[in-house]
Amino acid sequence: MVKQTQVQLLEVRFEHSGEGAYLLALAGNWTRSAMRANDQWQAFFERIPSSIGAAGRLEFDCRALDRWDMRLVSALAQMLRLSNEIGCEVDLRGLPEGIRGLFDLAAAVPEAEGRGSGDRRDDWLENLGHHVIAIVQGFWNYNAFLGELILELLATMRGKTSIRARDFWLAIQNAGPMAVPITSLLAFLTGLIIAYIGVLQLHKLAADIFVADLVGLVMTRELSAVMTGVIMAGRTGAAYAAQIGSMRVNDEIDALKSFGISPVRFLVVPKVLALVLMMPLLVALANVVSIFAGMLVAVGISDVTIPQYHFQIVNAVGMNDVLVGLFKSLVFGFIIALAGCYRGLRCGRDAAAVGQATTSAVVTAITWIVIVDAIFAVLLNILGI
Amino acid sequence: MRSTTEESDNRVIMVRDLEMRYGSYLVMSKLNFDVLRGEIKVIMGGSGCGKSTLLRHLIGMEFPTRGSIVMLSQKVSPDDAALTRLRHRFGVLYQGGALWSSMTLAENVALPMETFTRMGRKEIAEVVAFKLALVGLSGFGDRYPAELSGGMRKRAGLARAIALDPEILFVDEPSAGLDPLSARRLDELILALRDSMKTTVVIVTHELDSIFTIADTALFLDAESKTAIADANPNELRNGTADAPERVRTFLRRGAAPQFLAQAEEIDYD
Ligand SMILES: Nc1ncnc2c1ncn2[C@@H]1O[C@H](COP(=O)(O)OP(=O)(O)O)[C@@H](O)[C@H]1O
Ligand SMILES: [Mg+2]
């Protein structure tokens, strides 16, 4: 049984050379480009182990092999793997020393126990178990974090520990003044849109003036807080997660801990305090800006006058409506800072993990803002506020 | 049994039957070694074998699944208060320096002192200036970490690690990412610190170059048997005075990369 193929530069011969032994003779130039140009060798190589069978032995003859490179080595490695699976013996002695050296090198480090690709667990029950453990673990971690944060916050507010003034001011600046432009812009546009749609509808009832009630109530009770929350989650919450996450990647969190400095006190408390303090201010600003935008629309496209609009707003929007919105924003601020810092602190140790931490900080924050807002709606309804 | 007082006075770290795992993955087990006061102990081993993990156990960032670590006569355990007290007695130099990136060098070195000592502002500034001078960075106090080279960051990290005048200094891969000259410089710095302040030093590294100049003793971690296979002075290990498996000796004597690597370079890639 002799198979022989000769194509351009690649020469290969495969023959039965005696008592269960087979010889694979390679000659010519087995380089990447040559092998790409003539890919019949691929099918040829693939069939070799099975045609030898479990009882056979494969030997090599490379005396006429002229040039070779890594492409040949990986092709041979693949053939070796197949032979191993089938169970036939392979005698590497006939291969060039360089190739054998590379094989030794590849075999020197065994696939690590418990973490190789062959170890993917497929048992669904076990997977389920791991998931449940992870969820319970996550819940505990989160509670531990929340507990520590609350203790540190109380300690700070009672003046027992002090946070670094500069960190706090930086955080205030970031969460407050620097967020003013984007918050005002979006509040202005939201006010415009609500007023515009409102006027169009209310005009049909000749009740144009009630656009003031609409804009005033919707913004102060609901939208200012939720909208600012979403903006701050994307802007500041994400920044918290990214900042703390990259500090973790860089061992900076470990460095804090190894000095016995609590990362929660040092990094999280100033950020939480800053955001919780700034959110109501931003929401108050959003209220004013959006009501002003509503006025522009009302005066512009209907025959409502400025004094009428003003009078109507003062009548319609009560103090408790404003307070409800401001209180919510306080809670939202806490949620955003919490999600950002928590995700940052639990971030993995590479760049991709920072991205994930940032994403999940924003998603977590927005999800909880919506959920908590719904809870507020129900509670306020029950309480009749 | 020998009386322990004399001995234990001299042993700043005692590791007994230590086993380390990540989940179900066993990193190392059956580790037993001591670190003596004023000694420079180098922990050697191939990359990925568990050196950093051992370091993280020693400094109380991870806790053993079995066995114990006693440091400065105190067990390293998750007890927060005790661990925090212990932490003020050792310093850690992380692989990349791990300087707090939002603070200047001076603030980095000053923070531990501000947080844990009663020193006044001016006093701290003086100490910071001196520590920065020690590591050859005087005048750089106002720079942020991002404005420094890798070697400078490590030296600044060293200045921060010795901010509280620790009794033990832990160093992870001092030469990683440094050019040979900066790496030498860092080694000399660590040596000088030990000589002048009698600091005990534990260094984790996978590089052979500095071990003979810097190590009093070297602990070899072996990925295959997942435990330590030698613990002695590197010169004695090399010339056979100290007992060790043959591969440790060849490793210390080598310089010989496998021959086929030289050949592989000639292989042509089109
Ligand atoms: N956080 C972790 N979770 C799971 N496995 C880890 C973790 N950190 C390290 N490992 C694994 O533990 C082993 C030892 O890692 P490490 O101590 O960093 O090695 P070294 O510092 O000697 O290069 C490696 O196989 C690594 O993949
Ligand atoms: Mg390491």
Residue B22 lies in a domain: no
pLDDT of residue A195: 95
Task: Indicate the residue among B116, B134, B165 that finishes a domain.
Answer: B165
pLDDT band at A112 (very low <50, low <70, confident <90, very high): low
Do B155 and B175 lie in a common domain? Answer: no
Do B196 and B220 lie in a common domain? Answer: yes
Residue B68 lies in a domain: no
Q: What are phi and psi of B161, to 5 degrees?
A: -60, -30
Q: What are phi and psi of A2, to 5 degrees?
A: -125, 120
pLDDT of residue A104: 79
Lowest mean pLDDT among A18-32, A116-130, A232-246, B4-18: A116-130
pLDDT band at A371 (very low <50, low <70, confident <90, very high): very high
> For a pLDDT cut of 70, what percent of chain A falls above it?
94
CATH number of the domain that B83 lies in? Answer: 3.40.50.300
Task: Find, in chain B, the residue whose alpha carbon is nearest to that of A97.
Answer: B260
- The sign one gets for the Cα dihedral A358, A360, A364, A370 is positive
pLDDT of A138 > 80? The answer is yes
Do B246 and B176 lie in a common domain? Answer: yes
- The sign one gets for the Cα dihedral B21, B25, B30, B32 is negative
Mean pLDDT score across all residues of chain A: 89
pLDDT of B4 > 50? The answer is no
pLDDT band at B264 (very low <50, low <70, confident <90, very high): very low
At B176-220, the pLDDT tens digits run: 878 888 888 888 888 888 888 889 999 998 878 778 889 999 999
At B126-159, the pLDDT tens digits run: 889 888 888 888 889 999 999 988 888 999 999 9
> For a pLDDT cut of 90, what percent of chain A falls above it?
57
- Helix H, strand E, coil C: the string for chain A is CEEEEEECCEEEEEEEEECCEEEEEEEEEECHHHHHHCCHHHHHHHHHHHHHCCCCEEEEECCCEEEECHHHHHHHHHHHHHHHHHCCEECHHHCCHHHHHHHHHHHHCCCCCCCCHHHCCCCHHHHHHHHHHHHHHHHHHHHHHHHHHHHHHHHHHCCCCCCCHHHHHHHHHHHCHHHHHHHHHHHHHHHHHHHHHHHHHHHHCCCHHHHHHHHHHHHHHHHHHHHHHHHHHHHHHHHHHHHHHHHHHCCHHHHHHHCCCCHHHHHHHHHHHHHHHHHHHHHHHHHHHHHHHHHHHHHHHCCCCHHHHHHHHHHHCCHHHHHHHHHHHHHHHHHHHHHHHHHHHCCCCCHHHHHHHHHHHHHHHHHHHHHHHHHHHHHHHHHCC
Instruction: Give the nearest ligand 1 atom to B51 CA.
Output: 22
Instruction: Work out the number of other CB atoms within 10 angstroms of the CB of residue B5.
Output: 7
State mean pLDDT over B240-244: 81
Q: Which residue has the higher pLDDT, A150 or B5?
A: A150
Do B187 and B260 lie in a common domain? Answer: yes
Report the alpha-carbon angle B30-B36-B40, nearest 5.
95
CA B38, CA B7: separation in Å to the nearest integer? Answer: 14
Asked if the Cβ–Cβ distance from A260 to B263 is below 8 Å, we say no
Chain B nearest-CA distance from A247, in A, is: 8
pLDDT of residue A123: 81
Which residues does B contribute to its contact with A (CB < 8 Å)?
24-26, 59-61, 83-85, 87-88, 90, 92, 94-96, 98-102, 111-112, 115-116, 160, 164, 258-261, 263-264, 267-270
Domain ranges of chain A: 2-108, 140-383
pLDDT of residue B270: 38
pLDDT band at A108 (very low <50, low <70, confident <90, very high): low
pLDDT of A231 > 60? The answer is yes
Do B204 and B113 lie in a common domain? Answer: no
CB within 8 A of B19, min separation 6: which ones?
B26, B28, B29, B30, B31, B64, B65, B66, B67
CA B203, CA B173: separation in Å to the nearest integer? Answer: 7
Do B184 and B260 lie in a common domain? Answer: yes
Residue B184 lies in a domain: yes
Task: Indicate the residue among B124, B142, B165 that finishes a domain.
Answer: B165
pLDDT of B254 > 80? The answer is no
B68-87 as b/e: b if 16+ CB within 10 A: ebbbbeeebeeeeeebbebb
Asked if the Cβ–Cβ distance from A258 to B24 is below 8 Å, we say no
Contact A263, A253 (CB under 8 A): yes
pLDDT of B261 > 70? The answer is no
Instruction: Work out the number of other CB atoms within 10 angstroms of the CB of residue B211.
Output: 20
Owning domain of residue B250: 38-63+73-89+168-270
| Beta partners for residue A68, in sequence order | A30
Chain B nearest-CA distance from A63, in A, is: 17
pLDDT of residue A110: 56
**What residue ranges line ligand 1, CB within 6 angstroms?**
B 22, 25, 27, 45, 47-53
Number of folded domains that form chain B? 2
At A37-56, the pLDDT tens digits run: 887 888 888 888 888 888 88
Residue B236 lies in a domain: yes
Do B77 and B115 lie in a common domain? Answer: no
pLDDT of B255 > 70? The answer is no
Nearest CA to ligand 1 atom 14: B50
DSSP, res B98 = -
pLDDT of A331 > 60? The answer is yes
pLDDT of residue A166: 86
pTM above 0.90, yes or no: no
pLDDT of residue A111: 54
At A337-358, the pLDDT tens digits run: 999 999 999 998 888 999 999 9
Q: Model ipTM?
A: 0.78
Task: Indicate the residue among B165, B181, B204 that finishes a domain.
Answer: B165
CB within 8 A of B114, min separation 6: which ones?
B124
pLDDT band at A70 (very low <50, low <70, confident <90, very high): confident
Classify domain A2-108 by CATH number: 3.30.750.24
Residue B154 lies in a domain: yes
Instruction: Work out the number of other CB atoms within 10 angstroms of the CB of residue A165.
Output: 9
